[in-house]
Amino acid sequence: MPRVRHYADIVAILAGLMWILVFWSISVSARLDSIEPTLAALLALGAMILVSFVHRPFRVHLSRYHVRKRRTEMWMHILALPMALTLVLGGLIESLIAPLSGQQKMLLFNVLATAGWVVYVMTLVIKFVHHLLRRRRHRSGGT
């Protein structure tokens, strides 16, 4: 069972990283006034999705409950919470300091989404280390 969870964590981390790259590519595209960075990121994302749907072992692994649960947790960290915080922080910044352009709002979202992904990864690493230490202590006969 822990092996399935470990695999689910890796899948969710990589999926989150891919979406973070897509989010940042949108900011880079807006800054450069060119759609090539976003197209490249979407092409890489599409290739990953295509491989995961076509390759049967990946499809079987990705359909498992633990992978779906971990990806849902990842989405909460990189999309739901950053969007809500961007609305609140963007509104505060606009009312207290100065209006924000679309690029600045996207940059704020990207920073918050990246921070959420890092928190998600650190949480998974801490959980993994905790379970590893607990398993070692249990094997050695400690209380």
Does the structure show a pLDDT above 60 at 1?
no
Q: What is the pLDDT of residues 59-98, one digit of tens each?
A: 666 666 566 777 788 888 888 888 888 889 999 999 999 9
Percentage of the chain with pLDDT > 70? 85
Query: When comparing pLDDT for 62 and 121, which is higher?
Result: 121
Does the structure show a pLDDT above 90 at 20?
yes
Query: What pLDDT is stored for residue 64 in this prediction?
Result: 64
Could you write out the three-class secondary structure of the chain? CHHHHHHHHHHHHHHHHHHHHHHHHHHHHHHHCCCHHHHHHHHHHHHHHHHHHHCHHHHHHHCCHHHHHHHHHHHHHHHHHHHHHHHHHHHHHHHHCCCCCHHHHHHHHHHHHHHHHHHHHHHHHHHHHHHHHHHHHHHCCCC
Q: Which residue has the tokens 């280390």?
A: 129
